[in-house]
Structure 1
Amino acid sequence: MLDWYKRGTRVERMTFWGCFAGWGLDALDVQMFTLAIPAIVAAFGIDHTQAGAISAVTLVSSALGGWLAGALSDRLGRVRTLQITILWFSAFTFICAFAQTFPQLLAFKALQGFGFGGEWAAGAVLMAETISPENRGKAMGAVQSAWAVGWGAAVLLYAVAFSWLPMATAWRVMFGVGLLPAILVLYVRRNLREPARFSTPEKQTQTPILLQVAEVFRPQVLKTTLIGMLLGTGAHGGYYAIMTWLPTFLSKERHLSVLNTGAYLAVVIIAFWCGCMASAYLLDRIGRRRNIALFALCCIVTVLSYVMLPLSNLQMLVLGFPLGFFSAGIPASLGALFNELYPAQMRGTGVGFCYNFGRIASAGFPVLVGYMSHSMSLGAAIGIDAGVAYGIAMVSVLLLPETRGKRLRPTTAEKSAIPTNGADLALKSARSQR
């Protein structure tokens, strides 16, 4: 599994760790909110629907940020865009700690989302264009496992903060720690380089951003974009329906304490990491389509069992492992698949659009869970929403072509720069000696 890392170049390894750290710190900042929902509800006197609205607004803004960052990465470069987005989401996570009203927190979380969505879009394309085709699935799946690392760090921070500090202070301290990812920019500036495939043709740099995003609806890629939008919706909808409300489900319906909630989440998080690594292996073994469809089917069965069956606490602890394991497989696959569906000159735009459209469309799922919980149990609401979402993901991925092992196409500018015969090579050599 790790042979690709040993055989990789220094640039590949440095890029892997830069993106791994970025994605892990993204998870730290984002998962802090899901853990702090009960404290935020108490602090501002809001209900579950309003708490779900914060998550929804963050998802929508992260999608818009992903669209913008994807287009900017095609224009400014992958590495530069990555630096901008890391600084952005770090700063606004920190500012969330000082929110005094519900509308203020809503606005700060929305601004945080712009950077969060943009970081993934820039980092995913950077990874895809740096790693060799035969190892792309393994490397990008392994990068996705950083989410489990950041999530685990958030749970540890949650356990410490809420065990030692008053609830009204603890959630603010958690958001204050969110400034730490800004340090990662120093590593990115020193060690990461633009892929050789990246170029900024003069015509492209003059294209307005909105028109550049609209390129994903060109006839040549329209079908891919429409199906990719559905896949992103199902993948994100299922994940956020579960993970936004899981801590609240454990504490309010299962009546677990802070430390016990952390123990149950620890099982899910460790399983999530294992699921990412398994998906990374299967991506290059059985292909992108089969892998996503398999994990989506398993997600439906597992989440319905977890939240709807009359399980004991011990049984829930055991079932938490497959819940986390299977929920990891789809997000670990999307980066490789979406990058392989688009040509280089619009790759960042296409990847950012499909992945982040799913965030916009899925923003309704956490809100719907909160709304449905007024007329049914929270567990039932989570199960119904997640089951529908994963069903959408399973059907849509089967409509896409298999892209395993595909070489990413160079831009038009790069094609024209490649000598086509011996005479061209000789001419190029002669010119370089002058």
Structure 2
Amino acid sequence: MTLICTAVGGWCAGLASDRWGRVAVLRATIAWYAIATFLAGFAGGFDSLLVLRCLQGFGFGGEWAAGAALISEYAGTRYRGRVLGAVQSGWAVGWAVALAGYALAFSALPAAWSWRVMFWAGVAPALLVIALRRTLGDPPVYLRGRAKVSPLRIFRPDLLRVTVFGALLGLGSHGGYYALTTFLPTYLRGTRGLTVLGTTAYLAVFITASFFGYLVSGLLADRIGRRRNIVAFAALCLLSLPLYLLVPLNDLGALLASAPLGFFSAGIPGGLGSLFAELFPTAVRGSGQGFCYNLGRVIAAAFPALVGALAPRLGLAAGIALFAGLAYALAAVAALCLPETRADDGRVSGAAVAGGHAYGGPDPYGAPGSH
């Protein structure tokens, strides 16, 4: 339910950012997420926790939709991939901080309190709202290109193809990542028999490799192209999954195999921001990015459930490998069906420019020297 609400929140926030501005919506979604996360620590049972996690999802999904549009419009075409890859690497940094808090809380506190403390710590991002309010304004390209358009604009014929295959790419990316990472701690504890501290060490290797995966993916997106970068990382994910999950390895081998798996699995989400931003014109960029990135989360929410349902029959490792592999294969196929948006002359090619003509001319987002 959290993932489903994340998807809904992402699309709604994307629509809102097109109409009311990137920064205003980003501030609102960060505050929403922080408050809902804090309140989840006071949940008295399953029902109240479910409601609060749904509310948390709305803010979580909305943050990426507004934030990715904001960052991509400030970044120049030549460096957009590496800038968004660097921003996305903050996911790994935040995950590492959360992992350290997890190890500390679950080692030092009673089980009845440790999970609540983890939720209460989630109020920290609210401090960002103060900084955003004082220092950041909407990008000039957004202010020039904003227009009142229908929320269904991304489904019209000139953008329908990129919307459909972009959503399938989002599904493959999230489906693989969720099938893998949702059950990774359970796999390490249950299948490999690790303690909380042992699990932390394996996840630390995975997360560190993910950090560099985001950065390298962004750099390669600028060097070899947005689409080719995603296809390459999806193929490498398909190779590393069976090595980590299905090949019998000792503890040291599994620890070392965590690194390529973390690195490659981060490469696809690390390259999505620049590709999605350049597929849509300014007036519907937030809506298009929010829909493609987050619709996949609705269906991808089923992947962890399917892994859990089939684990008693297939085994947890085989279930993760099966569904994560199917998802990454889908991501590769969907990326191949999308246009390449990086162009050597500095212009954004493909749907972004084509879509821009519907508003009376090429989208200024891709014009050389516009940043």
Could you say whether these structures have the same fold, taking a TM-score greater than 0.5 normalized by the shorter chain as the test? yes
Greater CA deviation, 290-299 or 213-222?
213-222
Indicate if the aligned counterparts of 1:344 and 1:411 stay in contact, CA closer than 8 A.
no
User: For residue 131 of structure 1, what is the aligned residue in structure 2?
Assistant: 75
User: For residue 129 of structure 2, what is the aligned residue in structure 1?
Assistant: 185
Residue by residue over 1:49-101, the C-alpha shift from the partner in whole angstroms, topping out at 9 and shown as x without a partner, is xxxxxxxx111101100000000000000000000000001111111111121
Q: For 2:158, what is the secondary structure of its paired residue?
A: coil
Q: For 2:151, what is the secondary structure of its paired residue?
A: helix
Greater CA deviation, 374-383 or 225-234?
374-383
Matching of residues 199-218 of structure 1 within 5 Å: 199=143, 204=148, 212-218=150-156
User: For residue 150 of structure 1, what is the aligned residue in structure 2?
Assistant: 94
Residue by residue over 1:358-401, the C-alpha shift from the partner in whole angstroms, topping out at 9 and shown as x without a partner, is 11121110111111112221111111010000000011101111
**Number of residue equivalences:** 355
Q: For residues 144 and 17 of structure 2, what CA distance do their matches in structure 1 show? A: 10
Indicate if the aligned counterparts of 2:170 and 2:292 stay in contact, CA closer than 8 A.
yes
Q: For 1:400, what is the secondary structure of its paired residue?
A: coil
Indicate if the aligned counterparts of 2:86 and 2:214 stay in contact, CA closer than 8 A.
yes
Indicate if the aligned counterparts of 1:75 and 1:200 stay in contact, CA closer than 8 A.
no
Unmatched runs of 5 consecutive residues or more in structure 1: 1-56, 419-434
Residue by residue over 1:295-353, the C-alpha shift from the partner in whole angstroms, topping out at 9 and shown as x without a partner, is 00111111122111111111100000001000010001111000100111111111100
Match of 1:385 among 323, 347, 350: 323
Q: For residues 372 and 228 of structure 1, what CA distance do their matches in structure 2 show? A: 29
Q: CA deviation at 1:199?
A: 3.5
Q: For residues 171 and 295 of structure 2, what CA distance do their matches in structure 1 show? A: 7
User: For residue 256 of structure 2, what is the aligned residue in structure 1?
Assistant: 318
Q: Which has the larger radius of gyration?
A: 1
Q: Aligned partner of 1:79: which letter?
A: V
Unmatched runs of 5 consecutive residues or more in structure 2: 365-371
User: For residue 330 of structure 1, what is the aligned residue in structure 2?
Assistant: 268
User: For residue 280 of structure 1, what is the aligned residue in structure 2?
Assistant: 218
Match of 2:59 among 112, 115, 132: 115
Q: CA deviation at 1:414?
A: 9.5
Q: For 1:255, what is the secondary structure of its paired residue?
A: coil
User: For residue 220 of structure 1, what is the aligned residue in structure 2?
Assistant: 158
User: For residue 62 of structure 1, what is the aligned residue in structure 2?
Assistant: 6
Q: Aligned partner of 2:99: which letter?
A: V
Question: What TM-score does the superposition give when structure 2 sets the normalisation length?
Answer: 0.92
Q: 2:205 aligned with 1:267, yes or no?
A: yes
Question: What TM-score does the superposition give when structure 1 sets the normalisation length?
Answer: 0.79
User: For residue 294 of structure 1, what is the aligned residue in structure 2?
Assistant: 232
- From the superposition, tell whether residues 242 and 84 of structure 1 become closer, same or farther in structure 2 (CA, over 3 Å): same
User: For residue 361 of structure 1, what is the aligned residue in structure 2?
Assistant: 299
- From the superposition, tell whether residues 413 and 234 of structure 1 become closer, same or farther in structure 2 (CA, over 3 Å): closer
Q: For residues 203 and 172 of structure 1, what CA distance do their matches in structure 2 show? A: 44
Indicate if the aligned counterparts of 1:74 and 1:347 stay in contact, CA closer than 8 A.
yes
Q: For 2:140, what is the secondary structure of its paired residue?
A: coil
Q: For residues 137 and 383 of structure 1, what CA distance do their matches in structure 2 show? A: 29
Q: For residues 301 and 102 of structure 1, what CA distance do their matches in structure 2 show? A: 39
Q: 2:178 aligned with 1:234, yes or no?
A: no
- From the superposition, tell whether residues 402 and 195 of structure 1 become closer, same or farther in structure 2 (CA, over 3 Å): same
User: For residue 42 of structure 1, what is the aligned residue in structure 2?
Assistant: none
Question: Percent identity of the aligned residues?
Answer: 50
Q: For 2:35, what is the secondary structure of its paired residue?
A: helix
Residue by residue over 1:247-282, the C-alpha shift from the partner in whole angstroms, topping out at 9 and shown as x without a partner, is 111011111111111000000000001111111110
Q: Aligned partner of 1:383: which letter?
A: A
Q: For 1:240, what is the secondary structure of its paired residue?
A: helix
Indicate if the aligned counterparts of 1:67 and 1:118 stay in contact, CA closer than 8 A.
yes
Indicate if the aligned counterparts of 2:147 and 2:283 stay in contact, CA closer than 8 A.
no
Indicate if the aligned counterparts of 1:199 and 1:411 stay in contact, CA closer than 8 A.
no
Q: For residues 144 and 249 of structure 1, what CA distance do their matches in structure 2 show? A: 26
- From the superposition, tell whether residues 342 and 369 of structure 1 become closer, same or farther in structure 2 (CA, over 3 Å): same
Q: For residues 203 and 415 of structure 1, what CA distance do their matches in structure 2 show? A: 13
Instruction: Indicate the RMSD between aligned Cα atoms, in angstroms.
Output: 1.9
Q: CA deviation at 1:225?
A: 0.7
Q: Aligned partner of 1:399: which letter?
A: C
Q: For 1:311, what is the secondary structure of its paired residue?
A: coil
